[in-house]
Amino acid sequence: MRRFPAILLLLAALAPLAWPAQAEDLVSGISQDVIQITSNYTGTSIVVFGAIERPLGAEGRDIVVVVRGPDTTLTVRKRERIAGVWVNSDAARLVGMPAFYYMASTRPLEAIATPSSLTRYGIGEHHLVPQKIVSHHDPRPFQLAALRHLEREGLYNEAPGSIDFLSETLFRTRVPVPAGVARGQYNVEVYLFRGGEVVSAQSTPLFVDQTGLERRLFNFARDAPFWYGLAAVAMSILLGWISSVLFRRPA
């Protein structure tokens, strides 16, 4: 963490040299680009920081940070009580939804841009559009139910007003990464809004991966599922036999 102040100062010093006098541009970075998951991983956080140029007289400047995880398919089922028994009466499949989503902004989204502009860039949970929806009925209630579930699991979150400006051009925000995140490539997107329109944007990849014994077991289960299952059964039998020997009562 000690290197962040130095990096921010360097961004501030280079800003007048890197950007034209009448333009407004954005440069951003993250504190780490790889998160390693181990057996004792309970969550962590990353810092998204950057710098912008603000021309004289510019107003309505806002920063929005979006972190979205690898795409996944969510299946949402509707349960109804029929003849005293709960059954699945309907379902919807949401293809291409982020497995993780976090949004931070300088102000509430409705004060930054119009709903159509937010939907165009997928900014805000309720502006996410799946790549494909498989449903016989209106899919919107199923999508709202999926969002509520992901929020309870801590995988979806919004934090308006959580971006700190260290000066007129330097900003930063902290993004929590919970323990239940999926492995894969994430994208850290930083948007610069002015007058309700995106004037600059930058995307940085973030990788979440397992390491150590957990990684080897995961690869073994994925590459050789039959032998992994056979080894798990054999290990269970061996541990059961050892337990019976250790705790056997004398006759």
Based on the fold, state whether residues 196 and 227 are members of the same structural domain: no
Query: Once rounded to an integer, what is the mean pLDDT over residues 150-166?
Result: 94
Based on the fold, state whether residues 169 and 226 are members of the same structural domain: no
Based on the fold, state whether residues 162 and 70 are members of the same structural domain: yes
State which residues form the domain around 195.
Answer: 3-211
Domain total in the chain: 2
Based on the fold, state whether residues 152 and 227 are members of the same structural domain: no
Based on the fold, state whether residues 121 and 39 are members of the same structural domain: yes
Based on the fold, state whether residues 51 and 174 are members of the same structural domain: yes
pLDDT tens digits along 131-143? 998 887 888 889 9
Distance of alpha carbon 76 from alpha carbon 80, whole angstroms: 13
pLDDT tens digits along 206-238? 999 877 666 677 677 778 888 878 888 888 888
How many degrees, rounded to 5, is the angle at CA 128 between CA 124 and CA 132? 175
Based on the fold, state whether residues 142 and 237 are members of the same structural domain: no
pTM: 0.75
**Alpha-carbon distances, residue 224 vs 215, 218, 219 (angstroms):** 14, 10, 8
Parallel, antiparallel or unpaired: strands 156-160 and 101-105: parallel
Based on the fold, state whether residues 103 and 183 are members of the same structural domain: yes
Based on the fold, state whether residues 224 and 206 are members of the same structural domain: no
pLDDT tens digits along 168-213? 889 999 999 998 898 899 999 999 998 889 999 999 999 998 776 6
**Token pair in block for residue 21:** 């006098």
Based on the fold, state whether residues 170 and 123 are members of the same structural domain: yes
Based on the fold, state whether residues 140 and 53 are members of the same structural domain: yes
pLDDT tens digits along 9-34? 444 444 444 434 344 689 999 999 99
* CATH code: domain of residue 64: 2.60.40.1930
List the beta bridge partners of residue 195.
none
Check if the beta carbon of residue 24 is closer than 8 Å to that of residue 200: yes
Based on the fold, state whether residues 108 and 10 are members of the same structural domain: yes
